[in-house]
Amino acid sequence: MMNKRKFGLALTSVLAAGALLGACGTNDKEEKGKDKDEPAKGAETTENGGDQFTLAMVTDVGGIDDKSFNQSAWEGVQAFGKDNGLSKGEGFDYLQSKSEADFDTNLNNLLRRDFDLIFGVGYIMADALGEVAEQNPNRNFVMIDSELDAPNVAAVLFKEQEGSFLAGVAAAKMTKTNKIGFVGGMDIPVINRFHAGFIAGAKAVNPDIEIQVNYTGAFDKADLGKLAANNMYSSGVDIIFHAAGGTGNGVFSEAKERKKKDADANIWVIGVDADQYDEGKVDDETNITLTSMLKGVDKAVIDLATKAKEGNFPGGEELVYGLKEEGVKLADSRGAIPEDVQKVIDEYTEKIANGEIEVPDNVSDKDKK
């Protein structure tokens, strides 16, 4: 069984060497490929990057510019590359997946280019990455957003439900119609965690609130997100939280169109993974992004790469980041959320972080409708 441990991810200090994450593995550097049954532990001379430690990632179908999950991971890869004097294409890189069929090909292409550490981004890549990792036991991989039990794979998970609880509190306190909405991508555990937390938070402050739900079944279909948002806003919903990757861009499009037509409309979107404030810009004075539920994907990427470079790669470990570890949080609302509502959000943040409130991580079938 995978050794499960929770690591404190202080987002403002992950770059401090050795500051975070329990030490795993060994500091002894093993030559890549010296023993095919042992995963590599740290940086070695490679065909790709000489004596520099190199890294790369494979996106899920949402794409590198989804303004959300994949983009956040890529920002982490780039930041590590810059801080370590690497160049794109050799020291660090990415390959984009247009469909699930691309996962295996992309992962193997990066292996052939001899990157020291390879990240697989997104739950739906778990099967492909697991197979590739098993076939290459002397190479190190990071699986983001899914459990994966393998000695040469570090699994990174987030307590999305905790940050989403706060998004639910914000939505329930800010709605004027008593109707809010959730637009999800695929019906998978990670999106269920967003959904479950959002419901719990909203009902914690308003038990009678109506919450409409639409799982679009895709992370790369902005048109489906726009259609879902149109249906919700037309029925009286005034705030939508999306956890749908690139599909969520359509939610923003619909909201901005409605705000342009009626400047007084109480229309809002809560973004996901990255700060999506810029996505909500209608004009120089108007923005429909209420806040965003942030996941520290970029910081987790930097931290795992740093540990691997130092010879402390946590292979076989499951790393979980929640509110207590500062792995999830709400973005600055830029004044969209008034002080009295922010005070309530802060109170719930403290209660979740100290364990007074345990947020559910799954939803019933009836709540998905």
Q: What residues contact residue 40 under an 8 Å CB cut-off, 6+ apart?
A: 30, 32, 33, 116, 138, 139, 140, 152, 313
In contact, 311 and 32? CB cutoff 8 Å: no
Does 3-158+296-321 match 160-295+338-368 in CATH topology?
A: yes
pLDDT given at position 29: 37
Sheet containing 55-58: which strands, arranged edge to edge? 3-6, 317-321, 153-158, 140-144, 117-121, 55-58, 92-95
pLDDT given at position 351: 97
Dump pLDDT digits (tens) for 257-313: 999 999 999 999 999 999 999 999 999 999 999 999 999 999 999 999 999 999 999
Handedness of CA 311, 315, 320, 324 (dihedral sign): negative
What is the DSSP code string of 267-312?
-EEEEEES--TGGGB-SSS-B-EEEEEEE-HHHHHHHHHHHHHTT-
pLDDT given at position 35: 44
pLDDT given at position 66: 86
Comparing CA positions, the residue from 36, 133, 120, 38 lying closest to residue 301 is 120
Q: How many other C-beta atoms can be found within 10 angstroms of the C-beta atom of residue 16?
A: 10
d(CA 156, CA 320): 6
Q: What residues contact residue 83 under an 8 Å CB cut-off, 6+ apart?
A: 15
pLDDT given at position 178: 98
Cα angle for residues 206, 327, 349 (degrees, 5° grid): 30
Q: Give the pTM.
A: 0.82
Query: What torsion, rounded to 10 degrees, do the Cα atoms 60, 359, 290, 288 define?
Result: 50
Residue 122's region, left for phi above 0, alpha for psi from -120 to 50, else beta, is left
pLDDT given at position 37: 46
Dump pLDDT digits (tens) for 235-245: 999 999 999 99
In contact, 86 and 336? CB cutoff 8 Å: no
In contact, 290 and 336? CB cutoff 8 Å: yes
In contact, 15 and 302? CB cutoff 8 Å: yes
Q: Per residue of the chain (369 residues), what is the pLDDT tens digit? A: 444 444 444 443 443 333 333 333 333 334 444 343 444 444 333 444 457 999 999 999 988 988 888 999 999 999 999 999 999 998 999 999 999 999 999 999 999 999 999 999 999 999 999 999 999 999 999 999 999 999 999 999 999 999 999 999 999 999 999 999 999 999 999 999 999 999 999 999 999 999 999 999 999 999 999 999 999 999 999 999 999 999 999 999 999 999 999 999 999 999 999 999 999 999 999 999 999 999 999 999 999 999 999 999 999 999 999 999 889 999 999 999 999 999 999 999 999 999 999 999 998 776 766
Architecture of domain 160-295+338-368: 3-Layer(aba) Sandwich (3.40)
3-state secondary structure of 368: helix
d(CA 309, CA 279): 35
The CATH code of domain 3-158+296-321 reads: 3.40.50.2300
3-state secondary structure of 203: helix
Domain ranges of the chain: 3-158+296-321, 160-295+338-368
